[in-house]
Amino acid sequence: MKMKKSIEVKTQTVGRNRRNFLKVSGLAIAGSGLLLASCSDDDDNGNMLGGGDFDLGSGDVGVLNYAYALEQLEAAFYTNVVNGSYYAGASVEEKAILLALYNHEVNHREWFKAAINANVPDADARLTADLEFDFSSVNFDNRDSVLGTAKVLEDTGVSAYNGAGQYIQTPLYLTLAGKIVSVEARHAAAIRSLISGSADFTAFAGDDIIDSNGLDLAASPEEVLSAAGGFFVTPFTYKNPKA
Protein backbone atom coordinates (compact mmCIF):
# COMPACT_ATOMS: atom_id res chain seq x y z
CA MET A 1 0.00 0.00 0.00
CA LYS A 2 1.31 3.42 -0.95
CA MET A 3 2.04 5.65 1.98
CA LYS A 4 0.61 9.15 1.89
CA LYS A 5 2.87 12.08 2.60
CA SER A 6 2.09 15.46 4.03
CA ILE A 7 3.18 18.10 1.57
CA GLU A 8 4.95 21.37 2.16
CA VAL A 9 5.03 23.21 -1.14
CA LYS A 10 8.06 25.27 -1.99
CA THR A 11 8.38 26.55 -5.53
CA GLN A 12 11.79 26.82 -7.16
CA THR A 13 12.03 28.77 -10.42
CA VAL A 14 14.75 27.59 -12.78
CA GLY A 15 16.25 29.27 -15.80
CA ARG A 16 16.02 32.94 -14.89
CA ASN A 17 19.31 33.50 -13.03
CA ARG A 18 22.40 32.67 -15.07
CA ARG A 19 24.83 33.60 -12.33
CA ASN A 20 24.52 30.18 -10.76
CA PHE A 21 26.35 27.15 -12.11
CA LEU A 22 24.41 23.92 -12.34
CA LYS A 23 25.92 21.33 -10.03
CA VAL A 24 23.83 18.34 -10.98
CA SER A 25 23.33 15.71 -13.50
CA GLY A 26 20.45 13.51 -14.24
CA LEU A 27 18.35 11.44 -12.00
CA ALA A 28 17.68 8.34 -14.05
CA ILE A 29 14.98 5.89 -13.05
CA ALA A 30 15.34 3.79 -16.16
CA GLY A 31 14.59 0.24 -17.08
CA SER A 32 13.76 -1.37 -20.39
CA GLY A 33 10.03 -1.84 -20.80
CA LEU A 34 9.07 -0.14 -17.53
CA LEU A 35 5.77 1.72 -17.56
CA LEU A 36 4.66 4.39 -15.12
CA ALA A 37 2.33 2.01 -13.36
CA SER A 38 0.12 4.32 -11.34
CA CYS A 39 0.33 7.82 -9.98
CA SER A 40 -1.57 8.65 -6.84
CA ASP A 41 -4.87 10.42 -7.44
CA ASP A 42 -3.75 13.16 -5.07
CA ASP A 43 -0.48 13.76 -6.92
CA ASP A 44 -0.31 17.21 -8.50
CA ASN A 45 0.41 17.06 -12.21
CA GLY A 46 2.71 19.54 -13.90
CA ASN A 47 0.97 22.55 -15.37
CA MET A 48 1.58 25.90 -16.95
CA LEU A 49 1.59 28.68 -14.37
CA GLY A 50 0.16 32.12 -14.94
CA GLY A 51 3.55 33.50 -15.94
CA GLY A 52 4.07 30.77 -18.53
CA ASP A 53 6.56 28.64 -16.59
CA PHE A 54 6.04 24.89 -16.62
CA ASP A 55 5.65 23.32 -13.18
CA LEU A 56 7.05 19.79 -12.86
CA GLY A 57 4.34 18.77 -10.40
CA SER A 58 4.74 16.48 -7.40
CA GLY A 59 4.67 12.79 -6.54
CA ASP A 60 5.95 10.32 -9.12
CA VAL A 61 5.10 12.60 -12.06
CA GLY A 62 7.07 15.45 -10.51
CA VAL A 63 10.14 13.30 -9.86
CA LEU A 64 10.04 11.84 -13.38
CA ASN A 65 9.71 15.27 -15.00
CA TYR A 66 12.57 16.46 -12.77
CA ALA A 67 14.70 13.52 -13.86
CA TYR A 68 13.84 14.10 -17.51
CA ALA A 69 14.97 17.73 -17.30
CA LEU A 70 18.30 16.73 -15.77
CA GLU A 71 18.85 13.90 -18.25
CA GLN A 72 18.22 16.32 -21.09
CA LEU A 73 20.94 18.53 -19.63
CA GLU A 74 23.51 15.76 -19.36
CA ALA A 75 22.72 14.44 -22.83
CA ALA A 76 23.07 17.94 -24.28
CA PHE A 77 26.43 18.42 -22.57
CA TYR A 78 27.94 15.16 -23.85
CA THR A 79 26.45 15.79 -27.31
CA ASN A 80 28.45 19.01 -27.43
CA VAL A 81 31.58 17.11 -26.37
CA VAL A 82 31.20 14.37 -28.98
CA ASN A 83 30.00 16.58 -31.85
CA GLY A 84 32.90 18.94 -31.24
CA SER A 85 35.41 16.12 -31.85
CA TYR A 86 36.14 16.13 -28.12
CA TYR A 87 38.74 18.52 -26.71
CA ALA A 88 42.21 19.16 -28.07
CA GLY A 89 44.60 16.29 -27.33
CA ALA A 90 41.93 13.85 -26.12
CA SER A 91 43.38 10.33 -25.99
CA VAL A 92 41.73 7.25 -27.45
CA GLU A 93 40.85 6.11 -23.91
CA GLU A 94 39.31 9.47 -23.02
CA LYS A 95 37.24 9.54 -26.20
CA ALA A 96 35.98 6.01 -25.53
CA ILE A 97 34.88 6.91 -21.99
CA LEU A 98 33.17 10.14 -23.04
CA LEU A 99 31.41 8.38 -25.91
CA ALA A 100 30.13 5.72 -23.51
CA LEU A 101 28.79 8.40 -21.16
CA TYR A 102 27.16 10.15 -24.11
CA ASN A 103 25.39 6.95 -25.14
CA HIS A 104 24.18 6.25 -21.58
CA GLU A 105 22.76 9.74 -21.08
CA VAL A 106 21.06 9.86 -24.48
CA ASN A 107 19.46 6.48 -23.74
CA HIS A 108 18.26 7.77 -20.35
CA ARG A 109 16.83 10.90 -21.95
CA GLU A 110 14.99 8.99 -24.66
CA TRP A 111 13.62 6.45 -22.18
CA PHE A 112 12.14 9.21 -20.05
CA LYS A 113 10.65 10.90 -23.10
CA ALA A 114 8.93 7.71 -24.28
CA ALA A 115 7.78 6.61 -20.82
CA ILE A 116 6.31 9.98 -19.85
CA ASN A 117 4.61 10.48 -23.21
CA ALA A 118 3.09 7.00 -23.05
CA ASN A 119 1.99 7.01 -19.42
CA VAL A 120 1.10 10.56 -18.42
CA PRO A 121 -2.31 11.08 -20.05
CA ASP A 122 -2.47 14.84 -19.53
CA ALA A 123 -0.23 16.44 -22.14
CA ASP A 124 -0.06 19.61 -20.05
CA ALA A 125 1.65 17.59 -17.29
CA ARG A 126 4.53 16.47 -19.54
CA LEU A 127 7.80 18.37 -19.57
CA THR A 128 8.81 19.64 -23.00
CA ALA A 129 11.36 17.57 -24.89
CA ASP A 130 13.29 20.55 -26.20
CA LEU A 131 14.64 22.43 -23.20
CA GLU A 132 17.16 25.12 -24.07
CA PHE A 133 20.57 25.20 -22.38
CA ASP A 134 23.41 27.69 -22.13
CA PHE A 135 26.89 26.14 -22.22
CA SER A 136 28.75 29.39 -22.81
CA SER A 137 30.69 28.88 -19.56
CA VAL A 138 32.28 25.69 -20.94
CA ASN A 139 35.27 25.68 -23.31
CA PHE A 140 34.64 22.46 -25.21
CA ASP A 141 38.11 22.57 -26.77
CA ASN A 142 39.80 22.55 -23.37
CA ARG A 143 40.37 19.33 -21.41
CA ASP A 144 40.20 20.92 -17.97
CA SER A 145 36.97 22.74 -18.78
CA VAL A 146 35.23 19.68 -20.22
CA LEU A 147 36.34 17.21 -17.57
CA GLY A 148 35.81 19.71 -14.77
CA THR A 149 32.23 20.30 -15.90
CA ALA A 150 31.64 16.56 -16.35
CA LYS A 151 32.93 15.97 -12.82
CA VAL A 152 30.49 18.49 -11.37
CA LEU A 153 27.60 17.02 -13.38
CA GLU A 154 28.35 13.40 -12.48
CA ASP A 155 29.21 13.96 -8.82
CA THR A 156 26.12 15.99 -8.19
CA GLY A 157 24.06 13.63 -10.30
CA VAL A 158 24.64 10.92 -7.74
CA SER A 159 23.72 13.22 -4.87
CA ALA A 160 20.64 14.50 -6.74
CA TYR A 161 19.50 10.96 -7.37
CA ASN A 162 20.04 10.02 -3.72
CA GLY A 163 18.13 13.07 -2.57
CA ALA A 164 15.12 12.57 -4.84
CA GLY A 165 14.64 8.91 -3.94
CA GLN A 166 12.61 9.75 -0.84
CA TYR A 167 9.92 11.38 -2.99
CA ILE A 168 9.32 8.31 -5.15
CA GLN A 169 6.03 6.72 -4.14
CA THR A 170 6.05 3.57 -6.29
CA PRO A 171 8.24 0.80 -4.78
CA LEU A 172 9.31 -0.56 -8.17
CA TYR A 173 10.87 2.79 -9.04
CA LEU A 174 13.01 2.62 -5.91
CA THR A 175 14.38 -0.75 -7.04
CA LEU A 176 15.29 0.73 -10.41
CA ALA A 177 16.74 3.79 -8.71
CA GLY A 178 19.17 1.57 -6.81
CA LYS A 179 20.38 0.13 -10.12
CA ILE A 180 20.70 3.41 -11.98
CA VAL A 181 22.48 5.31 -9.23
CA SER A 182 25.29 2.75 -9.49
CA VAL A 183 25.66 3.67 -13.18
CA GLU A 184 25.82 7.35 -12.33
CA ALA A 185 28.45 6.61 -9.68
CA ARG A 186 30.54 4.71 -12.25
CA HIS A 187 30.37 7.75 -14.50
CA ALA A 188 31.59 9.96 -11.66
CA ALA A 189 34.43 7.56 -10.83
CA ALA A 190 35.54 7.37 -14.46
CA ILE A 191 35.69 11.15 -14.84
CA ARG A 192 37.52 11.57 -11.54
CA SER A 193 40.06 8.95 -12.59
CA LEU A 194 40.68 10.75 -15.90
CA ILE A 195 41.30 14.01 -14.06
CA SER A 196 43.61 12.61 -11.39
CA GLY A 197 45.44 10.09 -13.61
CA SER A 198 47.97 8.22 -11.50
CA ALA A 199 48.43 11.14 -9.12
CA ASP A 200 45.64 10.18 -6.73
CA PHE A 201 44.30 6.65 -6.58
CA THR A 202 41.59 7.65 -4.08
CA ALA A 203 40.04 10.46 -6.14
CA PHE A 204 37.31 8.19 -7.51
CA ALA A 205 35.70 8.21 -4.04
CA GLY A 206 37.11 11.31 -2.43
CA ASP A 207 36.16 12.82 0.92
CA ASP A 208 34.34 15.60 -0.93
CA ILE A 209 31.66 13.19 -2.16
CA ILE A 210 31.73 10.41 0.48
CA ASP A 211 30.82 11.24 4.07
CA SER A 212 32.48 9.96 7.26
CA ASN A 213 30.16 6.95 7.27
CA GLY A 214 31.26 5.90 3.80
CA LEU A 215 27.98 7.02 2.20
CA ASP A 216 27.28 9.13 -0.87
CA LEU A 217 26.07 12.65 -0.27
CA ALA A 218 22.44 13.51 -1.06
CA ALA A 219 21.06 16.77 -2.47
CA SER A 220 17.40 17.73 -2.34
CA PRO A 221 15.63 18.88 -5.51
CA GLU A 222 15.39 22.29 -3.88
CA GLU A 223 19.19 22.45 -3.50
CA VAL A 224 19.78 21.08 -6.98
CA LEU A 225 17.46 23.46 -8.77
CA SER A 226 18.62 26.51 -6.83
CA ALA A 227 21.95 26.11 -8.64
CA ALA A 228 20.50 25.40 -12.09
CA GLY A 229 20.32 28.91 -13.56
CA GLY A 230 23.70 28.77 -15.22
CA PHE A 231 22.78 26.09 -17.75
CA PHE A 232 18.99 26.04 -17.94
CA VAL A 233 17.56 28.73 -20.21
CA THR A 234 14.01 27.32 -20.38
CA PRO A 235 12.31 28.31 -17.10
CA PHE A 236 10.32 25.85 -15.01
CA THR A 237 9.29 25.42 -11.40
CA TYR A 238 9.18 22.46 -9.04
CA LYS A 239 6.96 21.92 -6.00
CA ASN A 240 9.18 20.13 -3.57
CA PRO A 241 7.27 17.66 -1.35
CA LYS A 242 8.66 17.23 2.16
CA ALA A 243 8.01 13.96 3.98
- In the chain the domains, ranked by start, together with CATH numbers, are 11-29+47-239 (1.20.1260)
User: Is the pLDDT at 91 greater than 90, yes or no?
Assistant: yes
| % of the chain surpassing 70 pLDDT | 73
For residues 41 and 58, give the distance between their C-alpha atoms in angstroms, rounded to a whole number. Answer: 11
User: Is the pLDDT at 128 greater than 80, yes or no?
Assistant: yes
6: left (phi over 0), alpha (psi -120 to 50) or beta: beta
For residues 63 and 136, give the distance between their C-alpha atoms in angstroms, rounded to a whole number. Answer: 28
Inter-residue contact 209 to 188 (CB < 8 Å): yes
* pTM summary value: 0.77
- Render pLDDT for 138-181 as a digit per residue (tens, 0 to 9): 999 999 999 999 998 888 778 887 888 888 777 776 777 677 77
Cβ neighbours around 39 below 10 Å, total: 23
Q: What is residue 144's predicted lDDT score, i.e. its pLDDT?
A: 96
DSSP designation for 49: -
Q: What is residue 14's predicted lDDT score, i.e. its pLDDT?
A: 54
For the chain, the C-alpha Rg in angstroms (whole number) is: 18
- Render pLDDT for 67-82 as a digit per residue (tens, 0 to 9): 888 889 999 999 999 9
- Render pLDDT for 191-220 as a digit per residue (tens, 0 to 9): 999 998 867 777 777 777 777 888 788 888
Task: Please list, in sequence order, all residues whose beta carbon lies within 8 angstroms of the beta carbon of residue 226, skipping any fewer than 6 positions away.
Answer: 12, 20
